[in-house]
Structure 1
Amino acid sequence: MSAISDTPLTSSALSLRRGDAVRDLIAATRHLPRAPDGRPADLAEVARLLTRLALRTELFPAADFPTDPTRTTTFYRLAEDPDGGHALYVSASLPGRKQLPHDHTTWAVIAGIRGLERNVVYQRHPAPEAGRYILSEQAAVTVGPGDAVTLAPEAYHTTEIVGDTPALHLHFYGLSQERMVDRVKFDGPEGGVPVPVPVPTQIRHPVVSVQALRTWLQGVEPVAVLDVRDEAAYARGHLMQASNAPLGRLPWLAPVLLPAPGTLIVVADEDEAQDLAHAAAARLVRQGYTNVSVLRGGTRAWQAAGLALYQGVHVPGKALAELSRLALSIPEVDVPTFRRWQAEGRPVRLLDVRPHEEYRRYSIPGSVNCPTGTLALSVPALALAPGEILVVHCAGRARSLIAAQTLLATGLPHSVHALRNGTMDWERSGGTLAVGQDEALALPATSSYPQCARADVVRLRAGVPYVSAQTVAAWLAEPWRPVHRLDIREPDEFEAGHLPGWRNAPGGQLLHTLDAQVAARNARIVLVDWDGVRAPYVAAWLAAWARHDVALLRPDARALLQAGADFAPLRRVNDQAAPWIGPAALAAGLAAGGAAVFDVGRSIHYQDWHIAGARHATLGSLRAWLAQGHGAGLRIVLSADDSAHAQSLAAELRDAGHADVLALLGGNRRWRREGRPGESEGASLPGTEDAWRGPHTLRDAAARAAAFAEYVAWEADLPRQLADAGDDDWDPARAPAPPGAGTGDRHALA
């Protein structure tokens, strides 16, 4: 049970209790003895367990399971195994709803929550005429609160909602409704010719209103909001608290964003009308998440309620930087002044604080790379001369502000400035950018005692504790509260050896893109390094969010380390794997005209390089393309940089009935490694708009300059947007307290 089970009920606590109760029911049912055909040997015991859950009526408020006036019955999914077993639903039915005699092809138990459902159970017998059957009545049961009816796989029944009030019932099946492909029904209770029952396509999930979600987000329980639209749509307007988890990438994003299966999750799309959010909720339930709801009306309903939506991506990290700039008066220098300093011969050192691969893509000539997360450890390697000025920059604003304040917090006795608007203003003022620069500040192998002592002061001022490995293990046992174990070193350090089960999240990018790493607010974040310097500074920044419990772990020098970059949960994809095709077979198919290849990776990567002849597509655009009859007679092959991504989407399409869909073994990386043809120009399927495109992706000089100006103005304006929205998390009166704050000297800790 969750740790909140004895607290007064709030709507979020109620949802968590419901998840606990559902999890207990499924676990108890799994442990029951089984008949030879795999069904529970004692369906009466399943009925007793289900009735006990149904009698907890407070767990099933009508607001979470509304009736739909356009449909006589709406089914809401609560649980389902990855293979479709142990499928539990809430049915919300209008008075008078009737169903003709039908079977389920699996065992079924129905228990009443509210209202009355009359069930008449039948047995089928062959009729004298071929292909016809006679039904004989076996029992009649009216299922109300405290009642249940059990149905064997071979049983048929009719249902009718009696009385004048809507009815709410629990339906528990041995197989999900979408997998009941052999069901049949009869036109009446006398029998006749069986007719196939269409597989349902509109299974819903519990809904949460805008007002309820806002209350949840102000509470103490961990709550995650997942916006499952593609990034381009997400960037046009989303909740500040929402992490972007596009539907096509959800199977392996979910374990990263939400490592605890009992976390309270709210899925959002634009308007809930296109079933995108409910499709994503289904995937999460099948992955074992037990507290999944959908935002009723989506982001449109949020905005219609007068609540703010935010444009762009990674807004929380940028907001933190801008609020810190105002609260701490972080020193900045504009590009003209910086150039004047250079022309005057003043001693100036320029550091590019972005990840190394981004620095190599484009950078200011003469800059040296040192990612934000390594700055505190790398200070001695700077070897700054007396009076030398240190200027740090990124592509825009946020990362350079974080970097400058981090350096000031180390007590560096030099002038430190953030280059205002970074490479964007450098270009706007007529400067050119270098491509392929490879000057990087060497990372010290060890830290000094003064560095560690300074870092510990930063940690203590931020209120961040050290915890033991035993404490972390105990936290991991809590199903409802996510624990993110993050190794904040650089990728090559992580690959050389890391603690098993920990994930690499280099510190600078973690601060910049926390919403892409941690979805739930009030999560636990545990950081580790091996030098005792970097993690305390990163932790102090994270603590300034006032949304998470942040802690540090001192790694045991005797701990067994794991080499390599792979993180197991990232590989989790659909349990039903799609068949693979090798590069040679695909090349032969393309040459013969019998295959079509689609790149399902991110469009920005597709533009850089893709398999020759491949078109770019998303799951949604591929579904629409195939539904229109395209691709008939062709073998459809999906590829991406990560072959697990392609495999996941291929499995989705095969599940939807498109049998000849394969995934390229090894993906684009293997194709390219084998020297097979690729290109950078290509076309996308209609409706394929997956990624937010930053100003740097524009090629026209005038459009690029205009986009730069618009972007930096938007970012600098974030504090005003937050103040206007009145979001408690970003109340200017509760300014963040990053490293160096609250010491009497905004630029130092001592």
Structure 2
Amino acid sequence: MTKEISPKELRSWLLDDHELALVDVREEGVFGADGHLLFAICLPMSRLELDILSLIPRKSVRMVLCDGGDGLAKKAADKLRAWGYSDLSILSGGVPGWAAAGNVIFRGVNVPSKAFGEFIEIESRTPNISAVELKEAMDNDENIVVLDSRPFNEYNRMNIPSAIDCPGAELVYRAFDLVDDEKQKIIVNCAGRTRSIIGAQSLINAGVPNQVVALRNGTMGWALEGFPLETGSDRTFSNISQKGMESALVYADRVAQRFGVEEITTDLLQKWQKQKNIKSLFLLDVRNPDEYEEGHLPGSISAPGGQLVQATDKWAGVLKGYLILIDDNGVRATMTASWLKQMGWPNVFVLRNALNEFELEKGFPQLPQIVLDNESIVSIKPKSLLKSLNQGLVTVVDVATSLEYKASHIPGSWWAIRSRLEETLSSIPGNGGLVFTSSDGTLAAYAAADALLLTDRDVKLLEGGTGSWRSMSFPEKSGFENMADINNDIQYKAYDHDDNVETHMEEYLSWETGLVEQVERDGTAHFKYFPS
């Protein structure tokens, strides 16, 4: 039986110097809406087999499981123990018990990173301008350049007119080549606040000679003023020049000195890798994903630096674990490390000559997963499924995210959340077989295995998932229909809502600016400010 831990004892663990994995196993939408502990990572029961090994690689690490006080953590503990995780505890009373003990709970996702951005703006006095001021500068043809610090897919969806895409870790690396002269004013934006603040302050910390400001409230602030956004833009950086590289190396050295960024050798890394039973190691390649795809260190994971700072809990699930940052010349790794150190991560290191001493792998390798016994699961090809649907023999159950389902799904299918199939499977009509699908079929395979134990109906798996159906140009539908469950599986961004988008933007921005006060009351964060 898994032991319970009191809120008081867990608080002491959060403040000690030992590794700790604090895992909330509720679905992300519930995690964000109902509230959670500040440093809990969201690892839903639906995705436990898919994500546990990459987020928490060391099976002997201290792990505390959280839920809504509903017994879900016990179910997760049983699975984890069967997979070899040995030091498990369950938070007594779950998140409600934590709150009842007088502790703070936080709503939203990626909260430590978001709160950290607000902390930096206050402590560093990061300069900013409003959307109105930026629009006036544009209208007056002032000497400015707008750098959008989001990944290209976010930028391409919507961006401020004239903005150039340059994700966070690329800013200092590419700054010299992206500005016309030292008198040109640099405005850094993102969707909301965090990446604008961190991006602008990165350039300031590096000593870029230009005036640098963050766009207050990002594209949301721009949209709330009624200014138009572009869609489908493709302005981005080109290959770095020799002078650009020389400048970036000088900037990075300056930051390394100020923030005490440490390098390690491959020999030391290999020594630590032999200590995998006492150290949780995360090898994180902070370059742009296309560079990672072209060649990366075996065993490393693509974690673009700007996004790693923005959502650290997406890549590293063990507090006080060892974050080993990788790039080709140290600039982006150094900039990323400087922020993680300020965020309170004590074991952050840049791997020296990371890509020069190993044979590199290409592509995007599949992350390690708990192996599923597929022998009892029967697959069906898209063409056969189409025939069965036309004959009314089967019903499709789609366990992709609700937003993926809304964007496109097989006509007549039903949407469900994998972790709640026990409650919802009986509500799916018909007496025929059930065919499970998800975007690529991976999550659907686990759901199908679950369903075999929950129903007497024939269960099959769509080979290749909905992607394979789409590749055949078979019919698709969009929108929310045939919903077997509440769509609280993921946290929706303001832009994801169909109605009242402006209200959602305002609520989000208000939430973000209010985090610092909550963090101060919570008392478990270790944010640091390094005076210049």
**Which of residues 391, 400, 404 in structure 2 aligns to 1:601?**
400
Q: 1:463 offset after TM fit, Å? A: 2.3
| Structure with greater proportional strand content | 1
Match of 1:331 in 2: 127
**Which of residues 460, 473, 479 in structure 1 aligns to 2:257?**
460
Match of 2:100 in 1: 304
Q: 1:613 offset after TM fit, Å? A: 2.3
1:95-143 deviation per Cα after TM superposition (whole angstroms, max 9, x unaligned): xxxxxxxxxxxxxxxxxxxxxxxxxxxxxxxxxxxxxxxxxxxxxxxxx
Match of 1:87 in 2: none
- Secondary structure at 2:298's aligned position in 1? coil
Q: Aligned pair in 2 of structure 1 residues 443, 309: CA closer, same or farther (>3 Å)?
A: farther
**Which of residues 381, 398, 409 in structure 2 aligns to 1:610?**
409
Match of 1:538 in 2: 336
What does 1:118-517 correspond to in 2, within 5 Å? 205-236=2-33, 237-271=35-69, 273=70, 275-444=71-240, 448-476=245-273, 477-517=275-315
**Which of residues 730, 742, 749 in structure 1 aligns to 2:531?**
742
- Secondary structure at 2:525's aligned position in 1? helix
5+ long unaligned stretches in structure 2: none
Q: 1:634 offset after TM fit, Å? A: 2.0
Q: 1:575 offset after TM fit, Å? A: 3.7
1:561-601 deviation per Cα after TM superposition (whole angstroms, max 9, x unaligned): 111112341x4443455332221222122111111112211
- Secondary structure at 1:580's aligned position in 2? strand
Deviates more, 1:465-474 or 1:299-308: 465-474
Aligned counterparts of 1:663 and 1:615: Cα–Cα separation in 2:
14
Match of 2:389 in 1: 590
Contact 1:251 1:283 in 2 (8 A): no
Contact 1:622 1:685 in 2 (8 A): no
Q: Aligned pair in 2 of structure 1 residues 647, 487: CA closer, same or farther (>3 Å)?
A: same
The letter of the residue matching 2:263 is Y
Q: 1:617 offset after TM fit, Å? A: 0.9
Match of 1:699 in 2: 498
Contact 1:621 1:687 in 2 (8 A): no
Aligned counterparts of 1:411 and 1:512: Cα–Cα separation in 2:
22
Q: 1:449 offset after TM fit, Å? A: 3.6
Contact 1:610 1:680 in 2 (8 A): yes
Q: 1:450 offset after TM fit, Å? A: 4.0
Contact 1:364 1:432 in 2 (8 A): yes
Aligned counterparts of 2:182 and 2:8: Cα–Cα separation in 1:
57
1:215-257 deviation per Cα after TM superposition (whole angstroms, max 9, x unaligned): 1111111111111111111002000010001101110110121
Computing the radius of gyration over CA atoms, which structure comes out larger, 1 or 2?
A: 1
Aligned counterparts of 2:524 and 2:431: Cα–Cα separation in 1:
56
- Number of corresponding residues: 526
Q: Aligned pair in 2 of structure 1 residues 464, 233: CA closer, same or farther (>3 Å)?
A: same
Match of 1:650 in 2: 448
- Secondary structure at 2:343's aligned position in 1? coil
Match of 1:562 in 2: 361
Aligned counterparts of 1:626 and 1:448: Cα–Cα separation in 2:
57
Match of 2:472 in 1: 674
Is 1:552 the equivalent of 2:350? yes
Q: 1:656 offset after TM fit, Å? A: 4.2
Match of 1:18 in 2: none
Q: 1:379 offset after TM fit, Å? A: 1.2
Q: 1:535 offset after TM fit, Å? A: 0.5
Q: 1:416 offset after TM fit, Å? A: 0.8
Aligned counterparts of 2:47 and 2:239: Cα–Cα separation in 1:
34
Contact 1:264 1:480 in 2 (8 A): no
TM-score, structure 1 as length reference: 0.68
Contact 1:320 1:736 in 2 (8 A): no
The letter of the residue matching 1:709 is E
Aligned counterparts of 1:400 and 1:491: Cα–Cα separation in 2:
21
Contact 1:232 1:689 in 2 (8 A): yes
The letter of the residue matching 1:215 is S
**Which of residues 519, 524, 532 in structure 2 aligns to 1:722?**
519
Contact 1:621 1:688 in 2 (8 A): no
Q: 1:707 offset after TM fit, Å? A: 1.9
Deviates more, 1:506-515 or 1:283-292: 283-292
1:638-664 deviation per Cα after TM superposition (whole angstroms, max 9, x unaligned): 211232111122122224455632222
Deviates more, 1:549-558 or 1:445-454: 445-454
Aligned counterparts of 1:631 and 1:566: Cα–Cα separation in 2:
38
- Secondary structure at 1:439's aligned position in 2? coil
Q: 1:631 offset after TM fit, Å? A: 5.0
Aligned counterparts of 2:444 and 2:396: Cα–Cα separation in 1:
11
Q: 1:459 offset after TM fit, Å? A: 2.1
Q: Aligned pair in 2 of structure 1 residues 247, 579: CA closer, same or farther (>3 Å)?
A: same
Aligned counterparts of 1:355 and 1:443: Cα–Cα separation in 2:
17
- Secondary structure at 1:729's aligned position in 2? coil
Contact 2:110 2:312 in 1 (8 A): yes
Flag the structure with more relative contact order, 1 or 2, with Cα contacts below 8 A and sequence separation at least 6: 2
Q: Aligned pair in 2 of structure 1 residues 320, 499: CA closer, same or farther (>3 Å)?
A: same
Contact 1:529 1:535 in 2 (8 A): yes
Between the aligned residues of both structures, percent identity stands at 31
Deviates more, 1:223-232 or 1:663-672: 663-672
1:382-441 deviation per Cα after TM superposition (whole angstroms, max 9, x unaligned): 132242111111110001101001111222111111110011111111112222111112
Aligned counterparts of 1:602 and 1:534: Cα–Cα separation in 2:
32
Contact 1:404 1:417 in 2 (8 A): yes
Contact 2:434 2:457 in 1 (8 A): no
Aligned counterparts of 1:688 and 1:704: Cα–Cα separation in 2:
18
Q: 1:493 offset after TM fit, Å? A: 0.8
Contact 2:168 2:306 in 1 (8 A): yes
Contact 1:252 1:573 in 2 (8 A): no
CA-atom RMSD in angstroms:
1.9
The letter of the residue matching 2:469 is W
Q: 1:277 offset after TM fit, Å? A: 1.0
Contact 1:615 1:682 in 2 (8 A): no
What does 1:7-22 correspond to in 2, within 5 Å? none
Aligned counterparts of 1:678 and 1:573: Cα–Cα separation in 2:
31
Aligned counterparts of 2:271 and 2:378: Cα–Cα separation in 1:
39
The letter of the residue matching 1:458 is V
